[in-house]
Structure 1
Amino acid sequence: MRRRITAFAAVALSVVTLAACGQVEEESAPAGATIDTMFGSVTAPEQPKRVIALGWSDAEAALALGVQPIAASDWLAFGGEGVGPWAAGRYTTPPQILGTTELSYEQISGLNPDLILNTRSDASKEKNDELSKIAPTIGPPEGVVSYGTTWRQQMEMVSSALGKPDEGARLIGEVDAKIAGTKAANPQFAGKTVGVGAYYADKYGGYVRGDSRVDLMESLGFVNKPEIQALSNGNFYADLSREQIELLSADLTVVFPIGGDPAALRSDQVLNQIPSAKAGNLLLLEDETLLSAFSSASTLGTLWAIDNATPLFAKTLAPAA
């Protein structure tokens, strides 16, 4: 599905309603920031009160800014409030949990939102068109692949839409400082190739630039393996046949299961015979919390991932150092 946004002005002309005693005008909310998206510019209300977070980790971005969405999609199946432990305790009222790839527009409309966040999504024009009929919708930025909005772009867009650009800039600076410090403390990462792969439904795949995991690894000094990057087809992920699994072999190979048992990876003879596995440079990410942080692509999750995954990267890379 691809979506097409219709122009939506958060500050529309006054709505005229008919009452028994005559016509009554209701003034719309004051205009806030205007955010550029891949579907055009969208003006948010000045102080949105009923925010719905549909995009991948959009809820975590809002919570980091002190704004509690009234409803959100739980992309990583955390359950409960739909966010990782790095964002725990930031809700005072739990959100209503909505769908992810399949949305109920009737349900969303019934929540009477004044702003919808969908910054990291499948970039469907059809969905954006329908959501924009309900409330101003902040879709992905121009030029990104599906689900390819970076943590930085997400925070810039969300903080602007929520009227908190200065706080957003502070959080971006915090992550930048963490990345810079970690990179400086691990000079052995510089220029080393990395292959990041996943195992899902008995199939392997490799991630390319535009995926938050690869982007994080490269920000720490690694270089995505060129042979995997060459498979990029406008998406963040490329399927690999069993004959292509060796493409994941690099100075550091990071592989994880999606919704499956990591035991399948530990026992896979093909995976464990690739050169990086034989050299001891294959890292299987098995801790679900760490894997979720690595995949969250929010400012909060990225900070958690850097703190907890970097020691594993360094330890696994050591045999080749």
Structure 2
Amino acid sequence: MRLPLGRLLPVAILSAAVALAGCSTTGTEDSSEPAATSSAAAQFPVTIPTAFGDITVPKQPSRVVALGWSDADVALSLGVQPVGASDWLAFGGDGQGPWNAGKYTTAPTILGTLELDMEKVAALKPDLILDTRSSGEKARYDQLAKLGVPVVDVPKGGEMYLTSWEQQLDMIGKALGKQTEAAKLKTDLDAKFTAAAQANPSFSGKTVSAIARTGDGWGAYVTGDGRVDFLQKLGLKNAPKIEALKKDSFYIPLSNEQLDLADANVTVVFLIQATLDQVKSDKIFQAVPSVKAGHVAYMDDKDISNAFSSSSVAGLSYAVDKVTPLLASALG
């Protein structure tokens, strides 16, 4: 089945301890847990600015439904197990990538992504709905808001599917009463990026083109997309000729005649409904100078590609470990 361009979102559409009936606590049972839970509960009520106004979460939620792209991923990173979740990247099972393997004690009910089954959502009796990286459509928000529980949608001033990993982490951390934990995760990932960049000084100032081969053809990502932001945090610079095409989208379709724009110090290729064989047999793409010279990194490992696409704090941390050596090798 061919997915809409939404499958490219952000970052890549347009490009809940012990599970007490799905309770969202962590399952940690040491003596510090009651104090930690009490501390989190003391933070409420909290108010979170969203595109649809300020949303107040009156008390620490215990039945979280995570609908937005990577919302469940982030909740798990904060020690909260959603009772329902959307599997945007089609992982199957509990809807999580390898960076979150084993974090559920009870698997969530898997829900829809673009289309919502409201009866299924309502049956979970949520006391908080997360939809922080989604279409940002008011009709979707209004549909969810009818359930009478707080809906934390895209951030104020945000655009469809372009909620950054930092914004997503901050919003979900606050909604779950996990602000301290969220701040630490952010600090740790920032430090990881810095360490990777410092360990690879050859990245500094080098140009990179983030290219996608999809079922519909070629395209390139520009600043604002999580893939490009990731590469820039490592010290690389998005190819100026591609960046110059940026308008109101993070993804630019490229015709065969424009493939020369993929030339850079290193070309990074993402495969979406396409195979590595297709790319390597494409004579026009293989003639791009950087590709021809071997300065190309193919993101054909599904786990790596999904880590990029998750644009979550845990997924990106995983990607730093896996992608950095590939880039270093491609740069030579």
TM-score, normalised relative to structure 2: 0.84
- List runs of 5+ in structure 2 lacking aligned partners: 1-42
The equivalent position to 1:88 in structure 2, one of 89, 92, 101, is: 101
Distance in 2 (CA, whole Å) between partners of 1:153 and 1:217 is 18
Partner residue in 1 for 2:78: 65
Partner residue in 2 for 1:54: 67
Change (3 A) 1:166 1:211: same
Q: Deviations over 1:85-107 (max 9, x none)?
A: 10011100000111111112232
Partner residue in 2 for 1:42: 55
Q: Which amino acid aligns with 1:70?
A: V
Distance in 2 (CA, whole Å) between partners of 1:287 and 1:60 is 20
Change (3 A) 1:271 1:144: farther
Change (3 A) 1:164 1:31: closer
Distance in 2 (CA, whole Å) between partners of 1:139 and 1:267 is 43
Distance in 1 (CA, whole Å) between partners of 2:171 and 2:211 is 29
Partner residue in 2 for 1:6: none
Partner residue in 1 for 2:260: 246
Partner residue in 2 for 1:228: 242
Q: Are the equivalent residues in 2 in contact too, given 1:55–1:121 (CA < 8 A)?
A: yes
Q: Are the equivalent residues in 2 in contact too, given 1:255–1:283 (CA < 8 A)?
A: yes
**Residues 1:102 and 2:115 are matched in the alignment:** yes
Q: Are the equivalent residues in 2 in contact too, given 1:197–1:254 (CA < 8 A)?
A: yes
SS of aligned partner of 1:206: strand
**Residues 1:32 and 2:45 are matched in the alignment:** yes
- State the Cα distance separating 1:31 from its structure 2 match: 5.2
Distance in 1 (CA, whole Å) between partners of 2:66 and 2:244 is 33
Q: Which amino acid aligns with 1:72?
A: A
Partner residue in 2 for 1:3: none
Please list every run of at least 4 consecutive aligned residues from structure 1 whose deviation after the TM superposition is greater than 4 angstroms: none
The equivalent position to 1:309 in structure 2, one of 320, 323, 331, is: 323
Partner residue in 2 for 1:298: 312
**Residues 1:262 and 2:273 are matched in the alignment:** no
Partner residue in 1 for 2:180: 166
Distance in 1 (CA, whole Å) between partners of 2:245 and 2:97 is 31
Partner residue in 2 for 1:272: 286
Pairwise CA RMSD: 1.4
TM-score, normalised relative to structure 1: 0.87
Distance in 1 (CA, whole Å) between partners of 2:158 and 2:279 is 31
Partner residue in 2 for 1:75: 88
Q: Are the equivalent residues in 2 in contact too, given 1:194–1:223 (CA < 8 A)?
A: yes
Distance in 2 (CA, whole Å) between partners of 1:306 and 1:161 is 27
Distance in 2 (CA, whole Å) between partners of 1:92 and 1:280 is 45
Distance in 1 (CA, whole Å) between partners of 2:134 and 2:220 is 19
The equivalent position to 1:286 in structure 2, one of 292, 300, 317, is: 300
Distance in 1 (CA, whole Å) between partners of 2:172 and 2:117 is 23
**Residues 1:151 and 2:160 are matched in the alignment:** no
Q: Which amino acid aligns with 1:231?
A: L
Q: Deviations over 1:7-46 (max 9, x none)?
A: xxxxxxxxxxxxxxxxxxxxxxx95211111222111232
Aligned-pair identity in percent equals 49
Q: Which amino acid aligns with 2:310?
A: S
Number of equivalenced pairs: 289
